[in-house]
Structure 1
Amino acid sequence: MKFVPKTFTVANVRKVMNLVDILKYGIFFMILLNLLPLSAFFVGSPLHNIIGGIYSDFGFAGVLTASMVLTLTAWSLLYTQGLIIDGIESRYGDTRKWTSDENNIHAVHLCMFKFFNAQAAWQQLVIYFLLVALSGILVVIYESELWYWSIVAALLGMGIGYFIVILFCLLAQLTEPTLTLLPDPVARWIWAKAEALRCRLFEPVGRKEQPPHKRRIEPTHYVAVVVVLILISVGIVAWIFQSPPQFIPALVYAYTLILFLIWTFSALDFHLARFNINSLAVLIVFVFVSYLATDMDHSFEISVTDTVAQALTPVEVAKGSRQKDNLVVVVSSGGGIKAAAWTTLALRDLIMTRPELADEIRLISTVSGGTVGAAYYLNELCHSPIDSPHFWNDKDEIEKMLN
């Protein structure tokens, strides 16, 4: 009779698969955060054609903000999964019982439970951050303008990010001081000072707390509530003033988007799984219904027509240019709406300064936003002479894009 280790019994494998099932989105985002830095180096890596340039040429402020947001994203991914692990007894039975009986403990599940538990150990935080965020931090430093200043900025950004985490945990820690959300001495010192100087706002919350079996919300969930309220407030203020700092790189927005997606998918999956409803399907249906419920006033139909004349070959273009003094090739890179506005305004100003340039331009090669800008310029050029008062009717609108 072949010996089969008790760890690989059917029941234990089923428990592990249950954990993988409820953590599937967290695992996906962890892999995504490790794939993003690869796009800066390898052409064949996933997402290179879409985000290959978001890691390049960071200044001091860019490295600092990217490191800070990445630290918050990595911690949020860990903590969100920890909250889900702590609450899965509503679906799969009391997880804590799995770790209470030494005879029934299997190594794989025990490691997963301790690794994702919301009440972390310092080894867990270090290992998890190395797995999730280290690659991104290193690539940000490597691709920056000055590597030595970037190291200082990255360390400062991680420190600020971790300090924000400590402040986010403050309310939950004051509510139930027996928790150990962050085990390092700095966090404990700050929380001890806050406990000693607890204001009246927190006093009734801590005194009138219900027993664990009667709670409608776990104290650890206060962290998520505080974080969401703070970020929503910041978003509202930014939307009102509409003046984001120019030093924030595109990578920060990518990490912020991942942060919100972590919360969205984790929360939906945690609550909807009780009714065997797939959270991804719910989001797809919501997007589809929203698409049908709104009018798309910025879409254009593409129609294919027969060409009036045969297109010129590159050789013919070069021969024709010899009759003129200059052959001008315009190349414009991508970068969203600002790249479109910059391309349009640059071509306008150049041709307004030197009208002959309109006849000397023989080729326009563009990408993404630059393509939109070049197309906008050509459309205006074809419908109105340069010296016409109707040329650049939307000049002010285009210039606002760069402000």
Structure 2
Amino acid sequence: MSTGGKPPAPDPQDFLGLDRELDTDEVTVRDTVRAFARSTLYPHIAEWFDAGTIPEPRTLAKSFGELGLLGMHLEGYGCAGTSAVSYGVACRELEAVDSGIRSFVSVQGSLAMAALYKYGSEEQRQTWLPGMATGDVIGCFGLTEPDAGSDPGSMRTRARRQGSDWIIDGTKMWITNGTVADVAVVWAQTDEGVRGFVVPTDTPGFQANVIRQKLSLRASITAELVLDGVRLPDSARLPEVAGLGAALSCLNEARYGIVWGAAGAARACYAAALDYTGTRVQFGRPIAGFQLTQRRLADMVVDVTHADMTALRIGRLKDAGQCHHNHVSFGKFANVAAAQRVASAARGLHGANGITLEYPVMRHMVNLETVATYEGTEEIHALSVGQAVTGLSSFR
């Protein structure tokens, strides 16, 4: 029933008031991560992007550990045990600064730690997870190969038995944190199918090489992993893995973070454009007052709001135990595309200033080129959604 009072005007930064749907714990996570991101990360991110690296990744990992962000959605072993929505909100606030920063947290928590948590032995969990939760130990996840991206089942990395040991040979590509990692979760073909292995990076035969000259995701450490006769005991094998599905389930955890992260990148670009157009004066008035500018801003706020709605809904499904991997594909497919539209429009509204690192929009725009293709390209997720709605698989 209407009380007759005039409703408040929409908040330009949260048009439909979606953040009012967050509970107290989720708001606390949002405010804590946002404050840290703005005070500690944002002042340096342009410099890191320009340099093409994160200068002190171990210091950053420790800071994330102190905030409880590493493996925050896992239970025990020093992990925070938060809700999926809380984890998503953290990813959104981190990627509002930069996709590379969110990737650091996602790879540690949703790939390396999640693989150990879900598929490792209790000894493996006790050995690695507490240190990874605090940031004292950095992990990476070796699945993608130079010739096996969208089709990881065609990987050439091979693990063969030799007595009671395993010998691993192969190459992994595009591995976040690879050169600073203390432990790598590596996936390999065996005579029994795909298996996962926990590889300390000081093991003889293991080498990580920095991938340079990237034009996207520059504030991130990306590596090639080379395994040449790496010998491991059978205790290094993840005992609960029986096929490629285990690796793909870990990817689904990380993709969930991307659903929220893309929403953060979109929101950051929209906020920058709204601020810039409100202060940039041409022809005697702010350019935000022109019709074509307002149309762009209207399109942007719709995309930003849709992305937030999608992320929140999938998060609620995940917390209720009702999130299918097709839901996550829907979210990545929709939200990355929305973020790309917003970033492109924001770049245009900034004019020539939009191509500089003084403003965040071009940095987000090129980062999203990577986000669109890693952990499942746009095409792969479109086909996943297509299979879900038709019941027919177009994959071989």
- TM-score norm. by structure 2 comes to 0.24
Greater strand fraction, Structure 1 or Structure 2: 2
Greater helix fraction, Structure 1 or Structure 2: 1
- TM-score norm. by structure 1 comes to 0.24
